[in-house]
Amino acid sequence: MRTTSRLLLLAALTGMSAHALANPAVKAAASRFVGGIAWQEGSVLTADFSCAGKAQSAILGTSDKEIVVAVFTQDLAKPPEVLRFASADRNPAEAKIRLEDSSLTKDEIVSLSNATPPGYRPSKSCKGLRLSDDSSDAAHIYWDHEARRFDTWTQ
């Protein structure tokens, strides 16, 4: 039985949400693949981040030197896509991620950031991530359809 199916069954039996049960599993998987990072179980978000038409998990982690976002595009048994942000540019103690719609047009992004993000495509079903820390401009994490990886633009 797949991990997702087990979590849904356990959620139904215990009355807990599947999302609440998934958080420890996502944190454990992130720790297994990316060591030396304090993964924040409460930061786990679930959405279709890579426009693959399926639910995927993202988690935020920090260390003294960096802020890390791990996105599991397949399942928790496979390594995540990892984005790293230097603590010299951002405040790890204040870092947080949240879901972000990917419906902005390229022209709207250019008006906000003065640059066109490569490989960006507006979508009503795919979600992006917004990394903020109350000290610097937010990093908008999106799926780059051309390079087939995550990329960022800042506002």
What does the pLDDT read at residue 6? 54
pLDDT bin (cut points 50, 70, 90) of residue 142 is very high
What does the pLDDT read at residue 22? 64
Average pLDDT estimate for 72-99: 93
Task: Reduce the DSSP state of residue 23 to 3 states and report it.
Answer: helix
Range of the domain at 17: 3-154
pLDDT at position 9 over 60: no
- Average per-residue pLDDT for the chain: 86
Task: Please count the structural domains in the chain.
Answer: 1
Task: Reduce the DSSP state of residue 57 to 3 states and report it.
Answer: strand
Is the separation of the CB atoms in 68 and 37 below 8 Å?
yes
**Is the pTM for the entire model greater than 0.85?**
no
Selected residue with higher pLDDT from 132 and 155? 132
Going by C-alpha positions, the residue among 35, 84, 83, 87 that lies closest to residue 65 is 87
Q: How far is CA 84 from the centre of its chain?
A: 12
Residues β-bridged to residue 59: 70
- The structure tokens 């993202």 sit at 58
Instruction: Write out the two tokens for 142.
Output: 């999106």
pLDDT in tens, 91-135: 898 999 999 998 888 888 888 888 888 889 989 899 999 999 988
What does the pLDDT read at residue 16? 39
